[in-house]
Amino acid sequence: MQRKWLEQYPIGVPADIELEDYGSIADFLTRTAAAYPARTALCCADVELDFATMAELSEAFAAYLQVIERLPRGSRVALMMPNVAQYSLALFGVLSAGMVVVNLNPHYTEREVRFHLEDSGATILIAWEGAEAVARAAASELNCRLILATADELAKLPSLRSAPPRTHGNAEAAQTTFIAALEAGRHRSRPQSPVSPDAIAFLQYTGGTTGNPKAAVLTHRNAMANVLQLSAWLRPALDGADVCVVTVLPMYHIMALTGNCLLSAARGWKNVLIPDPRDLSTLVEQWRKHRFSFFVGVNTLFNALMDFEPFGRLDFEGLAYTCGAGAAVQPIVAEKWRKLTGCALSGGYGLTEASPTVCMTPVGVTGREQTVGVPVSSTEVKLLDDEGHEVKAGTPGEIVVKGPQVMGGYWNRAEETQSSFTPDGFVRTGDIAVMDAQGYVTIVDRKKDLVLVSGFNVYPNEIEKVVASHPDVSECACIGVQDAKTGEALKVFVVARNSRLTADALQTWCRENLTSYKVPRQFEFRQALPKSTVGKILRRALR
């Protein structure tokens, strides 16, 4: 297909990426550790690990899985941790051993953990100590081995590499703590046959809004392709040895998994981990100490930071690229961010099924804050109407995507896999967008969130942008509610900056900025709005 957006690429960004240089995801860490062994790889709670230590401890965990646990290739290992060093070490260990990572939210209930373990067939669960009770109950019911990672272990990790070998492999201890598993695996030899690029790397669960979640099957090739796409895209802004990344979004989520954890290992960047994204004080403290170059967040996080007075006193020199993803970045938030930090807040778009990145704003481009940029290298994007026909430029349609980063299907879900692809192999996203003549994509809304008011299509994103632009509004969310006259009507939930803000004032504001059928009928004020673990406002919870 004709990729009209290629003309928008900065000099040096290729139309297509090459995968031949890497055999598996583990090669990212192995090669970086060989080239830059003493360079800082991870910082967590002021504990730092260099790339040589990260590689050696990951190898120790791979040996533990293969030699002590005797797990065959393809075994599923579940990781249930916040942003801590143990997560990265376990992840690269599992992948090095040719096994499959199953990412779990550490805040899941016992029922949710049990479902994911049973559906994936995971035989080992590595859980953070704060989730021990839930993890232990779910794992014991399914005869899944539990390994606990603890905060006390963090300080011991840097010195573990130089510690003398144990005289015996304590397999019993390795059943209880992550550091004991590392000790048991150290100095053990294991089979070193290459991992195929087409081997499964992740079972990444998604789509749990209308029923049980399903796992996107992401291979090493899928994830490597997206890392290389991101690497090529960001090179004009982020190059050299002193790049520092802050990881606020959880690494068990696909955005931070690929765009922070894997990309940092591939490029040799320092990755500063923030375990709790709601802890703005720690984020500011770490920003002051490390001077971040690259920041990925969501609209609600950017908004919260700019409302947090200590954040405004930081020195933002060195911040080279900020990307908003996961949910639409509102123009007023992007404008305030640029004025405060001097760095544009660039849009991006992706989905779990695409590992996740599909579109990004080119480095150096301004004035496109309402878009999510253009498709990245080696990526094809079309917009289709309800009959499956490609729409004209400027006309809304469902985004469909093809590229090396796109999954092959869902784990044990043959029917859903088939229905999720077009006949010519594009994955359906369920997102409605418009694409202009230059290839820039603007997200309109989720297809399922469309509201039908008196026969007119209304997209909640548009309403939220208008309401959020009111100076007294902090956050808002729009949904459709039943209405006797119009079939559906619009209701907006609002978190106000000013307690004197009224529904009448907001309705007047909307009448000045929206046509009549788009003006919300109802406003409800709240202290806070329900959010996902990455900070996306959950309309489904409000519905």
Per residue in 123-143, pLDDT tens?
999 999 999 999 999 999 998
What's the CA gap between 93 and 65, in Å, rounded? Answer: 8
Q: Using the predicted structure, report yes or no on whether residue 208 has a pLDDT greater than 50.
A: no
pLDDT at 211: 54
Q: Which two tokens stand for residue 89?
A: 């070490």
- The pTM for the full model equals 0.87
Nearest to 334 by CA among 363, 362, 360, 371: 371
Residue 374: alpha-carbon gap to chain centroid = 19
Quickly list H helices, 36-176: 51-63, 85-96, 110-120, 132-141, 151-154, 157-160, 171-174
pLDDT at 210: 41
What string of H, E and C letters represents the secondary structure of 201-254?
EEEEEECCCCCCCEEEEEEHHHHHHHHHHHHHHHCCCCCCCCCEEEECCCCCCH
Secondary structure letter of residue 129 according to DSSP: G
Side-chain-side CA neighbours of 470 within 13 Å: the count stands at 27
Say what percent of the chain tops pLDDT 90.
Answer: 79
The radius of gyration of the chain's CA atoms, rounded to the nearest angstrom, is 23
- Residue 392 — φ and ψ, nearest 5°? -75, 165
pLDDT at 329: 81
Nearest to 264 by CA among 289, 287, 288, 241: 241
Q: Using the predicted structure, report yes or no on whether residue 167 has a pLDDT greater than 60.
A: no
Q: Which helix (H) or strand (E) holds 43?
A: strand 40-44
| Mean pLDDT of the region 160-188 | 75
**Lowest-pLDDT range, 154-168, 192-206, 376-390, 486-500?**
154-168
Side-chain-side CA neighbours of 491 within 13 Å: the count stands at 14
Q: Which two tokens stand for residue 28?
A: 């990212």
What's the CA gap between 458 and 251, in Å, rounded? Answer: 34
Nearest to 277 by CA among 293, 294, 295: 295
With beta carbons less than 8 A apart as the criterion, state whether 302 and 337 touch.
Answer: yes
pLDDT at 256: 95
Q: Which two tokens stand for residue 143?
A: 């005869």
Nearest-10 crossing angle of helices 85-96, 26-35? 110
Residue 444: alpha-carbon gap to chain centroid = 20
Residue 175: alpha-carbon gap to chain centroid = 30
pLDDT in tens, 253-308: 999 999 999 999 999 999 999 999 889 999 999 999 999 999 999 888 998 999 99
What's the CA gap between 447 and 463, in Å, rounded? Answer: 15
